[in-house]
Homo-oligomer: A and B are copies of this chain.
Amino acid sequence: MNIFIATIIENKAYLREDECHHCCKVLRYKSGDTLRVIDGNGKMYEGVLETATPKLCVIKIVAEIGKQVEDDRKLHIVIAPTKQIERIEWMIEKCVEVGVNAISFIQCKNSERTVLKHERLIKVIESAVKQSLRLYIPKLNPIIKFNDFIKTQNSGALYIAHCHHNFEKVEYKIALKNQANVTVLIGPEGDFTSDEIVSAQAASYKGISLGNSRLRTETAGLFACQAFKILND
């Protein structure tokens, strides 16, 4: 049975307009049909489609069929978008499947891409949420300048992943374990500059080592996410 993301008000679920079109036009659901909705906040419901138009779909909720508690440990991946956008799209998809709480984008000195289609990435997240049956929708933040980001994000355990050898680093197995709130910065293809690392350190970010392999930007993002999951599972 298909799953849709909806706004729940009392015992009714309202699909977003793009979901309505998908529901009625693409999947041909008709009023009276049973379907599943998630609220993106930990709950899944089964309901009966009452109003079924491409602009408005209203579902009468019949039962709560799934519940997830919010993660007690949260991971925020902060990454410089790759030149090839597909690489970031699949990283987002995989991070959502494995489990991530927030994803932000930063514009760095060596960034080759500074523009992102936010709406498209939201869709990538939502389809991964439906596919993986994760009932919380991770937060996606628009791209901002590296220096602006490190000024604003300064709570929890803060790490910057880079390949420079002349800066101290914490091993990921120590860095990511038993932390309630972790932020990991992942640099662009050309890596962070020394200046960026120094600024991050001044904003109380510590260097983190993700192991011995030289990982691509998007692989590093997913590796940090899976390591956080596995080490705290």
Contacts and interface: CB of A to CB of B under 8 A. Distances in A.
Nearest to A210: B98
Contacts of A97: 213-216, 219
Given A131-B214, A132-B214, A214-B132, A230 B226 contact: yes
B173 A215 contact: no
Interface string A183-219: 0000000000000000000000000000101111001
B98 A223 contact: yes
A94 interface: yes
A229 B230 CA distance: 11
B213 A132 contact: yes
Contacts of A94: 219, 222
Contacts of A131: 214, 216
A98 B218 CA distance: 12
Interface residues of A, number: 25
A160 B40 CA distance: 31
A173 B230 contact: yes
Contacts of A134: 213
Contacts of A90: 90
A98 B230 contact: no
Given A94-B222, A98-B223, A132 B215 contact: yes
Interface string A76-113: 00000000000000100110011100000000000000
Given A173-B230, A211-B233, A222-B226, 7 more contacts: A97-B213, A97-B214, A132-B214, A133-B214, A222-B222, A223-B226, A226-B227
Q: Which A-B residue pairs are the 7 nearest by beta carbons?
A: A226-B226, A132-B213, A133-B214, A97-B219, A230-B230, A132-B214, A94-B219
